[in-house]
Structure 1
Amino acid sequence: MNIGFDAKRAYHNNTGLGFFSRVLIRLLADQYPEHTYYLFNPRPGKSFQPNQANIREVLPKATLHRLLSAAWRSRWVTRDLTRMGINLYHGLSHEIPAGLPQTGIPSVVTIHDLFPEIYPEQYKPIDVKIYRAKLRYACGNATRIMAISEETKNHIIKIYGTDPGKIDVIYQSCAPAFMVPEPEEKKEAVRQKYQLPEAFFLHVGTIIERKNLLNICKALNSIRNDIPIPLVVVGNDGGFKDKVKAYLKEAGLEDRVCFLSEQLALAGKKPFVATEDLPALYQLATAMIYPSYFEGFGMPIIEAMAGGVPVITATTSCLPEIAGNAAWLADPDSPEEMANGFRKIYSDAAFAAAMRQRGLENAQRFRPEVYAGDVMKLYQSIL
């Protein structure tokens, strides 16, 4: 089978959608090597360099297509799909090319969330218009919809009136490396490389309002005299860091929060954590906190649990669905509930050990082989 993918984000996105794309493509290529995977990429990129022989990158060839690569990706690519004998096309993030149904090629679209529909005030008006148009077209015209959580499925049904029978909920998996305990020497090397403290709480995510870093810092303020552990923040500034830093200055907490990207940049290094170092970084943490107001899935929860790290997350959105019975759940508007989680995990060794065990068990629901198998079953169901 020749399977085509919209690979823009696999090659050019270093946040959640890019990681999702790269993990899925690699898993399928490894576990189902009898198929060939064509990655339709609008322009050359360096974020993805797969080495499997059954993965083939496809770039626009015609001069006009290279000049207008966005148009090639969103419409003209259908000619290449037909010419190359693609049996199935997977839009990995919210969209499929216009005119794809007319080619007769069956398609799957992954819908991660419908945030532009639900929270339009969080986006620029022009972006809301574009996102809505792409989402509606994809949900209306793809052969099948792959929702990454029951929460997202319910939103698709409610907002677009989509037939529930057209939607498959398939949970993602983190990269397999997160599910392997790192040796102590690797963890110590990562600690030294990033100048990490002996003990720390961890937050992973772009610094934007909905990720709720401000309330995490307020929770730190509550425990400042009880727990001498700083917070390490891994993630780029999405326009909210200044507000967080103003609070930290006002509260006298500047020395209790380490913005790792900022620290690396000041040291003259690349301001991001290397992918191969992330599992060890998670596993060094006393706990990972992720009390987001809304998410499509919440991958850091699984990345932490898979490595045996206790998790504090929110009672909102899909987060309880993903965390199962393994996390400390807190109202995202309650820094004190988050602080209570910090206190319990820090002071009660037996409780923290039980959380680690439940987290490891919960992570088994998201094993890579289960994920890839479910996606392949979906492909086969429409051929």
Structure 2
Amino acid sequence: MMRIGVDIHTVGARQTGNETYIRNLLRQMMPMATEDEFFLYQTKAVALPEWMQQAQLRTVKPHNPLLRIPLAFPWALKKDAIDVALFQYVIPPISSCPMVTMIHDISFEFYPEFFNPLSRKRMQLLIPFAARKSQHVLTVSEYSKRQIVERYGIAEDKVTVTYNGVAETFSPIENQTILDSTLQRFSLDKPFILAVGNLQPRKNIERLVRVYAKLRKKGLIEQDLVLVGQMHWQGHAILAEIEKHQVAEHVKTTGYVTDDELVALYNQADVFVYPSLYEGFGLPVIESMACGTPVITSDVSSIPEVAGDAAVLIDPLSDDALSAQLERVANDAALRASLREKGLVQARKFDWKTTAEKTLSILQRAG
């Protein structure tokens, strides 16, 4: 029997991809490890799902990572006699047990301008350290693996790709009452084009708003544009772009939404657009596909690896490319139907059970 420690401070923190990852991983992995005991370390008393409460729950304070990670965590791992610990991105400088670290991507190394300077400096200092000191590193795509290995000079066999999955809740919905209530909650009208991602420069939403506004003013598309995501660093520039092009009547922002709300929005969108400049994986691409939503996305970083031939790929730095494909997909019902069928097939290639099996194997080997 092994005692497996997991840092779950992102659960309940609305950290989107990082929280989605740890929730879904543990939901699948804990029932598999029948002979192992899980210790889940949180920093705040947030409501946890019932299945998570079956583990040994610990609170590690303070929430401030500059104190929690180097000081509180080593003591907690030692006190609980943990055999192996799983972290995301950042690890304690000293530990009584081997550590496995999930590094989703290292975008801060290649696009430093997209990050708050203080956060960027912290990541550039701590994440390379975690990659080199960890017993093993996990990441979410072959693209991210290549970047981690080359940038940090670590052995290829020390890094394992465990793709993200799609939760079962992401699927086509037939219940019109659920769909209608979600639209009413956010004061939205159909038809609409959907974009999902925190409002920040890396997601390339400014360009999307600019392209959308020109198409709308020329009468080339009829759908509204719905932006789902929390406001992040420099996100105000997106709101300024909406005002600049005078499309506030047709461009709606929802802020953070729950998974259930997101599923309902995917289900009702004519098109899902994800023109991100860089992704370690790009989870919304396969989530939207699993709901049957036609996808337009970028041809850069890990995205083609994830999207396969089930999406329309565009150069995210080209207004013309995005404009041409957005107009095309928004107005071609037959193309949307084809993309829907391809997307449903592509999304089934990614499941959290497989992710959990590979991760558990690595944890057991490391421990």
Per-residue CA shift, 1:36-78, capped at 9, x if unaligned? 321112x324264443453232114xxxx65987434334422
Q: Where does the alignment leave 5 or more consecutive residues of structure 2 unmatched? A: none
For residues 17-44 of structure 1, the C-alpha deviation after alignment (integer angstroms, 9 at most, x for no partner) is 2222222222222444553321112x32
1:295 alignment partner, SS class: coil
Find the residue that maps to 1:254 and give its secondary structure.
coil
SS at match of 1:113: coil
Deviates more, 1:139-148 or 1:332-341: 332-341
Partner Cα distance (2:63, 2:164) in 1: 34
TM-score between both structures, scaled by the size of structure 1: 0.87
One-letter identity of the residue aligned with 1:130: R
- 8 Å Cα contact 1:35/1:54 also seen in 2: no
360-369 or 238-247: bigger deviation: 238-247
- Confirm or deny: 8 A CA contact 2:98 2:135 kept in the other structure: yes
Deviation, 1:211, is 0.8
Q: SS in structure 2 opposite 1:174?
A: coil
Q: Secondary structure at the match of 2:170?
A: helix
TM-score w.r.t. structure 2 length?
0.91
Q: Deviations over 1:256-281 (max 9, x none)?
A: 201123xxxxxxxxxx3233222111
Partner of residue 269, structure 1: none
CA distance in 1, matches of 2:81, 2:303: 40
Judging changes above 3 Å, is the alpha-carbon distance between structure 1 residues 354 and 10 closer, same or farther for their aligned structure 2 residues? same
- Separation of aligned partners in 2, 1:216 and 1:67: 36
Greater RCO structure (CA 8 Å; 6+ sep): 2
The answer to whether structure 1 residue 148 and structure 2 residue 140 are counterparts is: yes
Q: CA deviation at 1:343?
A: 2.5
Which range is displaced more, 232-241 or 46-55?
46-55
- Aligned runs of 1:52-63 on 2, under 5 Å? 52-60=52-60
- Amino acid of the residue matched to residue 176 of structure 2? E
User: Partner residue of 1:2?
Assistant: 3
Cα deviation for residue 161 of structure 1 reads: 0.8
How far apart, in 1, do the equivalents of 2:235 and 2:197 lie?
12
Residue of structure 1 in register with 2:204 after alignment? 212
Structure 1 SS opposite 2:169: helix
Structure 1 residues 156-207: Cα deviation after superposition (integer angstroms, max 9, x where no partner)? 1111111011110111113331146453332122222222212100011111
For residue 327 of structure 1, report the CA deviation from its aligned partner: 0.8
- Matched with 2:328 is 344
Counterparts of 1:117 and 1:67 in 2: how far apart (Å)? 26
Q: Distance in 2 between matches of 1:296 and 1:39?
A: 25
1:109-258 maps to which residues of 2 (within 5 A)?
A: 109-179=101-171, 181-224=173-216, 225-258=219-252
Amino acid at match of 1:313: T
* Contact 1:111/1:146, CA 8 A, preserved across alignment: yes
Larger fraction in helix: 1
- Cα offsets for 1:280-307 (capped at 9, x unmatched): 1111111111101112211111110111
- The aligned length equals 364
Question: What is the letter of the counterpart of residue 91 of structure 2?
Answer: I
The worse-fitting range, judged by mean Cα deviation, of 284-293 and 216-225 is 216-225
Structure 1: 5+ residue stretches without partners: 262-271
RMSD between aligned residues? 2.3
